[in-house]
A and B are shown apart, each in its own frame.
Chain A
């Protein structure tokens, strides 16, 4: 069986690591799936799903590392008017950070509960805030 839950998030910073572990845990427990896996998937192209330790120093290191790899003022091709949106693209760094970090994570489900390591938290990561965002939580199993 499968169960899809969609959650809405509102980022309040240009870069933001939003912890969604509790929402994922709740979606798993309400899914009716006893044993299987849960996919946590971003609906966007300038965001990511990460699993890491919820410490401010780790979060800051992630931000600094990504800014070093993909500087805000880099020389990007994706800086032009997008006719299909009627707006200018100014978010190439967000797209590239999203590509580097990936759009989903997977964790096990056992006995109707999310299974994760003691240090693991799940983040929805914003690279192009401030935005209204969606995240899919797809539980699959029996």
Chain B
């Protein structure tokens, strides 16, 4: 099973009926010229890319924006369109007084599968007191957290809040919490690799092609940037295929990973098996 662990449904046609909402998303998510895409075309693209499941991420910074970029309800409505294709992650703004209740509602009533947080956009460090209740809820519910890590393309999102090493205290204080430091934590890839190597429930994803072609980029990161054996034998069970759609296309990211000169079992793990463990669907055989 191929799972794209990192996609933003900001221009999915089914949640773009309101032009004002679309313009708000384009501006605040930093998409500008990219516009709404019909759902049948979305499914064609996923079919052509051979992607079986896609994690759709909500985005909530409503404390200062007044409304989420993508609401939990919008993500739920997309999952309802294709429950066999889409997996929904919630987002809550920890600066809002009711954030914990909103998260419990997203898990309990909306049935969403994890939590997305971009601390760069929220302007808070991973150890911020306002986040701790959210971590506890996720840990108790067995739901993973997708943290933005490293550089964020979103406006007003300084990277310093999301430096990978800053998440170490979360890994220590919440040892059963599964979380992903997205985008390989670029440009702090070494810090991200230290985190996924050391901490059992910390993962990363490949949603990080910001320069060059995917084939060149992944070869540079995983082959030239580290020993091939490190990737194949020590890190491969902690790295998940993520596209960062619509910032990059699922098919081209997948092709870039498939082009790596590594064992087939490693490719299979990165393209879907690791995501199944991260999502709590499959036994974690890490030891």
Chain A residues close to B by CB (< 8 Å):
10, 12-14, 73, 76, 79-81, 83-88, 90, 130-132
Residue B125 interfacial (CB < 8 Å): no
Chain B residues, CB < 8 A from A131: 41
Q: How far is the CA of A12 from the CA of B49 in the complex (A)?
A: 11
Cβ contact of A132, chosen from B41, B210, B215, cutoff 8 A: B41
Cβ contact of B31, chosen from A10, A73, A85, A90, cutoff 8 A: A85
Question: B209 to A88, Cβ gap below 8 A?
Answer: yes
Question: B41 to A10, Cβ gap below 8 A?
Answer: yes
Question: A88 to B247, Cβ gap below 8 A?
Answer: yes
Chain B residues, CB < 8 A from A73: 213, 215
Most-contacted residue by chain B among A13, A88, A132 (CB, 10 A): A88
Question: A87 to B246, Cβ gap below 8 A?
Answer: yes
Binds A, one of B16-24, B32-40, B96-104: B32-40
Most-contacted residue by chain A among B31, B44, B215 (CB, 10 A): B44
Question: B30 to A86, Cβ gap below 8 A?
Answer: yes
Residue B63 interfacial (CB < 8 Å): no
Chain A residues, CB < 8 A from B30: 86
A-B contact pairs, 19 of them (CB 8 A): A13-B48, A79-B211, A80-B211, A84-B32, A85-B34, A86-B32, A86-B33, A86-B246, A86-B247, A87-B247, A88-B209, A88-B210, A88-B247, A88-B248, A90-B209, A90-B213, A130-B44, A132-B38, A132-B41
Question: B246 to A90, Cβ gap below 8 A?
Answer: no
Report the number of A-B residue pairs with Cβ-Cβ less than 8 Å.
Answer: 63
Chain A contact surface mostly: loop
Chain A residues, CB < 8 A from B212: 79-80
Binary A-proximity of B237-257 (CB < 8 A = 1, otherwise 0): 000000000111101100000
Residue B174 interfacial (CB < 8 Å): no
Q: How many residues in B have their beta carbons less than 8 Å from beta carbons of A?
A: 29
Residue B153 interfacial (CB < 8 Å): yes
Q: Which of B170-185 contact A (CB under 8 A)?
A: none
Chain B residues, CB < 8 A from A12: 44, 48
Q: How far is the CA of A85 from the CA of B29 in the complex (A)?
A: 11
The 10 closest A-B pairs by CB, nearest first: A86-B31, A86-B30, A85-B33, A88-B248, A87-B247, A130-B45, A79-B212, A81-B210, A85-B34, A86-B32
Chain B residues close to A by CB (< 8 Å):
26, 29-34, 37-38, 40-41, 44-45, 48, 153, 209-216, 246-249, 251-252
Q: How far is the CA of A130 from the CA of B29 in the complex (A)?
A: 23
Q: How far is the CA of A79 from the CA of B248 in the complex (A)?
A: 11
Question: A87 to B210, Cβ gap below 8 A?
Answer: no
Q: How far is the CA of A10 from the CA of B41 in the complex (A)?
A: 7
Chain A residues, CB < 8 A from B48: 12-14, 130
Question: A85 to B32, Cβ gap below 8 A?
Answer: yes
Most-contacted residue by chain B among A10, A80, A86, A131 (CB, 10 A): A86
Chain B residues, CB < 8 A from A80: 210-212
Q: Taking CB as reference atom, which chain A residue is nearest B215?
A: A73
Q: Taking CB as reference atom, which chain B residue is nearest A72?
A: B213
Given known contacts A87-B31, A87-B248, A130-B41, A81 and B211 CB-to-CB distance under 8 angstroms: yes
Question: A132 to B34, Cβ gap below 8 A?
Answer: no
Q: How far is the CA of A88 from the CA of B245 in the complex (A)?
A: 10
Chain B residues, CB < 8 A from A90: 209, 213-214, 248-249, 252
